[in-house]
Amino acid sequence: MSTPNKVKIGLIGLGSIGSHHINYLKTMDSIELVGVCDIDRAKADKFAADASTTAYYDYKELFAKSGLKAVIIAVPHYDHTPISEDAFQQGLHVLTEKPLAVHINDAQKSIDAYEDAKLANPNIVFGIMFQERTLPFYAKIKDIVSSGELGRLTRTTWIHTKWFRSQTYYDGGDWRATWAGEGGGILTNQCPHTLDMYQWLVGVPSKISGHAHIGKYRNIEVEDEVTAYFEHENGMIGHLMVTTAESPGTNRLEIIGELGKLVYEDDKLTLYRNRESMLKYGLETKERFGGVENWPTEIPVNTNAPTGHKVVTDLFVKAIQNGGGELIAHGTEGIKGLTIANGIMLSSFKKQIIDVPFSGDEFEAKLKELIASSKYVKKTVEAEEGDFSKSFSG
């Protein structure tokens, strides 16, 4: 049975993630890939030939000549904002790679452009590639937390250090790990998914204390190790510990509520269910020590569910075809995790706890100062691409 109203899509950016998109786009019956674009002409020609489509070297030419109705943006971070703005001005549907932008001021520009485009077309679709929301364990954690099964939340702690990156990785691209080229380090490149997942599960904190180490383990000018402390309006506290230097790394998430504790680590999800509220018990018990009786249960998770970039893109395409519908992540949500990332860095720079919301102008000014004062000389070497799937978190 043929698929009606194929969506004509263009892809901008043919680096590691762009080539990953190409691989699954070629298998989708619901789309027609009408063009690929990269400023590297040889790369654009190669991928266009491989995907039996047209090569473009300027995204504005792609917009003008390809007949596309939607675009996937997979370029370096700073370019997400101007390309998405131009796309919305052309009335195009947009699916952008993470992060939405480098800083919240630019993120707001993309959101404003989308809101303006909605005035002309209320059904215009704006998605962001937060494919980790499709991972079965995270989806189950979201289900449990959202159900209220843990009661009032008191603490969320995430140690996520499975982001090992070598010096060769950083040296393998002239834009990586620089303030001017990337706008940050682990928080901007590796951890947007972690930050999105944190806010998706428990919300954006109201206070942030960030401690970022710049080039601690690698010869780079951006952060490669970060520890942060959060306070939320509901009284919950949070912790985040990330680095690109640990091997073997850890991915351990604990979410504690009055009615139990949820622990995710090593592809195992355990719920320690309290017999009664630990908060109520703590106020009323006659016992001096001990604690609430609890029962540990390993939560079954369907690990065969479809996951990844293709799932995100498939729902994006269906929303376009149907004039609206469910997305894995709406583009406007991208500013939430970015707020946490910018807040951590601003707190670290200022060496003080900051309140959320904070001044986007202040962070942008600091970023521009870092770019202007940079004396970092990037050593660029040719690096083997290797297995790109290893770059995804575990």
pLDDT digits (tens, 9 = 90+) for 325-362: 999 999 999 999 999 999 999 999 999 999 999 999 99
Percentage of residues in the chain having pLDDT higher than 70: 95
pTM over 0.75: yes
Q: How many CA atoms lie within 13 A of 213 on its CB side?
A: 14
pLDDT value, residue 173: 74
381 pLDDT higher than 90: no
Q: Which of 22, 147, 18, 132 is nearest to 74 (CA)?
A: 18
pLDDT band at 376 (very low <50, low <70, confident <90, very high): confident
pLDDT value, residue 74: 98
Please state the φ and ψ torsions of residue 166, each to the nearest 5 degrees: -85, 170
385 pLDDT higher than 90: no
Give me the mean pLDDT over the 60-86 stretch: 97
Sort 75 into a burial class: Cβ within 10 Å, 0-12 / 13-18 / 19+: buried
Q: In whole angstroms, what is the distance from residue 292 CA to residue 290 CA? A: 7
pLDDT band at 382 (very low <50, low <70, confident <90, very high): low
pLDDT value, residue 172: 82
2 pLDDT higher than 50: no
pLDDT value, residue 1: 39
Average pLDDT of the chain is: 94
Give me the mean pLDDT over the 114-129 stretch: 98
pLDDT value, residue 390: 53
